[in-house]
Structure 1
Amino acid sequence: GASLLVTVLALDGSISTVEGGLLFGLIVAYVAWTVRAARREGPEVVAENEEAIDTEALARTPLAMQLGFIVAGLVGLVVGARWLVSAASTVAADLGASELVIGLTVVAIGTSMPELATSIVAVLRGQRDIAVGNVVGSNLFNLLSVLGAAALAAPGGIHVPEAARTFDLPVMTAVAVACLPVFFDGYVLKRWEGAVFFAYYAAYLTYLVLDATDHAAVDPFRLAMAAFVLPLTVLTLVVVGRRAWVSHRAAPRR
């Protein structure tokens, strides 16, 4: 829903201040709903959450030290963000690539590394709900909060490049739609499905690099994706979606 909304709002070439306020308001409403839903959880879920968090270690840490960690983290975040933007602009100028491509590759991968590490550690510890929540929550936060706040802060809103409107945002929306039948298939993301998503991201990065450098292989690569990969993807999603629907219909109702 958030991916489709951002794609539609960007069709006119910008995210206006009013639209940024709408996005930011949606994330506030979503967080409020999530907190309210969490308070209605049963004792089993609460106990599971407490087990995942080392509450004893937190209790032994003085409040002043915890506040100091928060302040230090915020300061480091601001300084690091300034360095990241400056370095990304320099890399874009040196490579002759657009800032959009650098943002979609270097900056996006760099800022997603903490999320990747968190999800992997959570999965290895058996806390799969944390891994899924981390990915879904971060995507919603980036689309609604980060983009919304940036549109509110920028005079006149944010300009959305044509390349993003015609390719990157539709790809993002298509990936979000592709996740639906996979997640409904027993609410389990299998290894081969994860490998498929990873391969598609690698193909997406490859296309960005080929297109940014005007490589001769960009047209054959685009043709191969359109003629073979995309039809196979649609066929796979249809099969998985139908299997999930049949399983859902066959499941006993309470």
Structure 2
Amino acid sequence: MTSTVQIIIGFILLIAGGEGLVRGASSIALRLGIPSIVVGLTIMALGTSAPELAVSIKASMSGNPEIAMGNIIGSNIFNILFILGLSSLIIPLKINLSIIKKEIPFLIFITFLFYGFLWDQKLAKYEAVFLIGLCISYTYLLVKNALKETKGKELNEGVKPSLLINSILILVGLVSVIYGAKFLVLGTSEVARSLGVSETIIGLTIVACGTSLPEVIASVMAAIRGKGDLAIGNVVGSNLYNILAIGGVSGVVTESALVVSNELVRIDFPVMLGATIICYPLFRSDRTLTRPEGVILVILFISYLSFRYSIS
């Protein structure tokens, strides 16, 4: 199978899977009385981060830490600057107050913590285990609070199709985006290697953008359908799980500490940190991510890519 065919198949699976994912997740949220923001922060975020998890684990176990860590950092930059920017260009995104008060401050804290762990250019085993523990605790508290908020509320039985059908839509959607990302990454990576691009750049750009395409499709589809909470929640949740779950697991599966380059720590991590911090003032302004702000985010991402390739 040629790289071109792999790329085409990847796009088809991603688009179809993203549509099913958004339809199923939003319908289940409405039917069960669960806020769509919680569904976006958990089900969609975990599901669309599966490609990053698979790639980073494989890279860590095969002795390619630059791809593993570059994938995490590059994906988080891509998610905030490109996906949120693109989604807000389709329709201005209304920001849930919970995102501003809870999730964004927590994401900023986690990003600073991760930066501190990697300042010495390695992620120790105990640090990786700590990240996984935080991931489990965060997910538990999020779901617990959501169930507490919906306790006593009647299920919306009038929402169709059924819970079973929506669950199948989510499952098929997740499988589609995972395999779609796999085909796309295989195809684009083959092209990149033929052009002599370094492993670090492949991890930061080709692999990161490729594995983040499920987030692109899911968030864009959510924006098109007017589900801004799902679009925002998907990106914020994915970035949290990229650091906590993927970073943690990648550090655990290596034989020793996960070693990363000085280049990633001194150049790319500050960009990820800056992109994360900028979300707070943007989200607080009228609690809406506007089209002009979306344009700025996309321009920042293109500028970062241009700079990164110029110094590689």
TM (norm. structure 2) is 0.57
Residues 64-75 of structure 1 aligned to structure 2 (within 5 Å): 73=175
Q: CA RMSD in A?
A: 3.3
Identity of aligned residues (%): 30
Q: In the alignment, is residue 189 of structure 1 matched against residue 308 of structure 2?
A: no
Give the aligned residue type for 2:148: R
Q: 8 Å contact 1:92–1:102 — kept in the other structure?
A: yes
Query: How many angstroms apart in 2 are the aligned matches of 1:127 and 1:45?
Result: 22
Deviations 1:108-133 (A, max 9, x none): 11111111111111111111101110
Query: How many angstroms apart in 2 are the aligned matches of 1:84 and 1:123?
Result: 25
Residues 97-108 of structure 1 aligned to structure 2 (within 5 Å): 97-108=197-208
Q: 8 Å contact 1:20–1:157 — kept in the other structure?
A: no
Q: Alignment partner for residue 120 of structure 2, among 8, 12, 19?
A: 12
Identify the structure with bigger relative contact order (alpha carbons < 8 Å, sequence gap 6+).
Answer: 2
Q: Alignment partner for residue 298 of structure 2, among 198, 210, 217?
A: 198
Query: How many angstroms apart in 2 are the aligned matches of 1:82 and 1:151?
Result: 25
Instruction: Quote how far apart the aligned CAs of 1:91 are.
Output: 5.1
Q: Match of 1:105, SS? A: helix
Q: 8 Å contact 2:181–2:213 — kept in the other structure?
A: no
TM (norm. structure 1) is 0.69
Residues 9-48 of structure 1 aligned to structure 2 (within 5 Å): 9-42=117-150
Residues 113-132 of structure 1 aligned to structure 2 (within 5 Å): 113-132=213-232
Specify every segment of 5 or more residues in structure 2 that has no aligned partner in the other structure, as ranges: 1-108
Per the alignment, residue 146 of structure 1 pairs with 246
Q: 8 Å contact 1:14–1:160 — kept in the other structure?
A: yes
Distance 1:78 1:10, change over 3 A: farther
Deviations 1:167-221 (A, max 9, x none): 1001110111111111111221111111111100000011111112xxxxxxxxx
Instruction: Quote how far apart the aligned CAs of 1:85 are.
Output: 7.0
Give the aligned residue type for 1:175: A
Q: Following superposition, which runs of at least 4 residues in structure 1 exceed 6 angstroms of deviation?
A: 43-47
Give the aligned residue type for 2:164: A
Deviations 1:32-86 (A, max 9, x none): 1110111122589987xx69xx76344358x9xx5xx67x939x95897599479
Q: In the alignment, is residue 109 of structure 1 matched against residue 209 of structure 2?
A: yes
Per the alignment, residue 230 of structure 1 pairs with none
Give the aligned residue type for 2:309: V
Query: How many angstroms apart in 1 are the aligned matches of 2:151 and 2:287?
Result: 23
Q: In the alignment, is residue 162 of structure 1 matched against residue 270 of structure 2?
A: no
Q: 8 Å contact 1:23–1:144 — kept in the other structure?
A: yes
Deviations 1:140-163 (A, max 9, x none): 111110011010011112111111
**Count of residues in Structure 1 that have an aligned counterpart in Structure 2:** 202
